[in-house]
Structures are given as C-alpha cells and as structure tokens.
Amino acid sequence: MEILGIDIGGTGIKGAPVNVETGEMTGERYRLPTPVEARPEDVASVMAEVVNQFAWQGPIGAGFPAVVQNGIVRTAANIDQGWIGINAQSLLSDACHCPVFVANDADVAGLAEMAFGAGRGQNGVVLMITIGTGIGTALFSNGVLVPNTELGHIEIRGKDAERRSSDAARQRKELSWKDWAGRLNEHLERLENLFWPDLFILGGGVSKSSEKFFPYLKLRTRFVTAELLNQAGIVGAAMYAKTRLA
C-alpha cells in the first residue's frame, strides 16, 4: 500500500509516496520552503502544492513540529502561535482534498526508525531524540509509542533545555562540537536518570555529523545514530496514516 508522507518542518515542507510495507519511498522527494511566518493557512497552501506535485489522491500522513492531540495542535515552540487550538487534520485535509492524518514530527520519525531503522527489533524502553531547530522526543515501550512526549522542554540550568542543546542553539551561539556535546550530554543524562531507557536513538539534522559529537557523549545508556536520516519524517508520517486507517 502507498501513502503520501509529508514532513512539515520549520524550513521545508517535504513529501514523497511511501510503500508502507517496506518503508521505501517509491518516488522522488519533493520539497518547498516553509512560508516565512508559517501561519496555518500559508502552510496549508504550500502543503497542497507539494501534494499536487504528485497528483495525489488518497490518504496522506503528516508530521508536525508540535504536540498534536486528536488532530488538534496544542503547542507552538518553534511555529506561529496561531496554530494553537487549530484542527490541523481538518485544515490540511480541506486544503489538500485528501484525508490527512497528523501527528508530532518526532513521534512519526520514531515510528519509522523502530520499524525500518536503528530501532528494528528493539524491545524495552527506547527513546528517540530528534535534534534540529527544536528537540523532539518519541518514547517507545516494547515497540509501542507513548505519543507527544515533550522531553526537549525539560528545564536545565533554569532554561528550556531545547534552547541550550538544539542544533539551532549550536549554530546561534557558534558553539564548538565539543561544547555543544557537553550541553547535549547534560540533557540526555537527565533523561536517562528519569526514564532509564535501554537505547537512545539520536536523529534529526545533526545525525549526519554524529562522528563530530558522539566521541564527547558519556552516557550510561547505549546510543546510536538514526539510520533513516532525513527520510524518517516522511516514511514515518505515511506509517502513522496507515495506523489510523487500520
């Protein structure tokens, strides 16, 4: 079965058709820049353009960078505040003229990693962390997702952790990999003391530079880099839609 997967991010809206049985993208990825202010209607119309590029008619899954409860956006750490309270599922379904199923971006990336990537066959507690503009988390117990964990926003040194240890913070503050890894380590150490995961999967944009910061991470918990890199968001979004159709 093919489902169109869409990854709605702070800088780009990316999509591709996905074979949800194999986790493979069956067509070329198409990306358009996210509109600057990223207001709901603007994002919906850019997403519709991405969908039209594939002349898609059928179910669509979308990963969104916020808490999404029953289709409704609840938070807006790195997106326009106007999203809070919006039923993203109805808005995007109407704009795209297709049924769209929406979930948190880290959660859907986690679904893809657990099925086809670094989390394959992993039992116990797995915590996937996506590190980009924000820090997203996906918590799995024996392969079952606990949705909408927001462990990027725990407080560290009196600050929202994501403001210190995201990739955006590394770039904004021009931190060396070593200094930034120290901050990330502090964040992950806190999480391992609270959740006692068996495995951390580190994904998001920085995962392709893992050799630059992995040597500085000192954790009790085993940690690996995500395997699907920037495909996880698209593949996982399609997989999420499949679970909703079932």
CB of 194 to ligand BGC, least distance (A): 17
Question: What does the per-residue mask of binding to ligand BGC show for 24-63, with x meaning CB under 6 A?
Answer: ----------------------------------------
Q: Give how far the C-alpha of residue 26 lies from the chain's centroid of Cα atoms, to the nearest Å.
A: 21
Look-up of token digits 């954790």: 219
Q: Does 65 bind ligand BGC (CB under 6 A)?
A: yes
Q: Does 162 bind ligand BGC (CB under 6 A)?
A: yes
Long-range contacts of 24-31 (CB under 8 A, 24+ apart): 24/235, 25/231, 25/234, 25/235, 26/2, 27/54, 29/231, 29/234, 30/54
Which residue's CB is nearer to ligand BGC, number 17 or number 137? Answer: 137
Report the residue closest to ligand BGC, judged by CB.
134
Q: Out of 105, 128, 129, 232, point to the residue binding ligand BGC (CB under 6 A).
A: 105
Which residue's CB is nearer to ligand BGC, number 105 or number 113? Answer: 105
CB of 108 to ligand BGC, least distance (A): 10
Residues in the chain: 246
CB of 113 to ligand BGC, least distance (A): 14
CB of 136 to ligand BGC, least distance (A): 3
Which residue's CB is nearer to ligand BGC, number 17 or number 161? Answer: 161
Q: Does 149 bind ligand BGC (CB under 6 A)?
A: no
Which residue's CB is nearer to ligand BGC, number 56 or number 150? Answer: 150
Number of residues lying near ligand BGC (CB under 6 A): 16
Region 209-238 residues binding ligand BGC, contact defined as CB under 6 A: none
Q: In the complex, which residues of this chain contact ligand BGC (CB under 6 A)?
A: 65-67, 75, 77-78, 104-106, 130, 134-136, 150, 152, 162
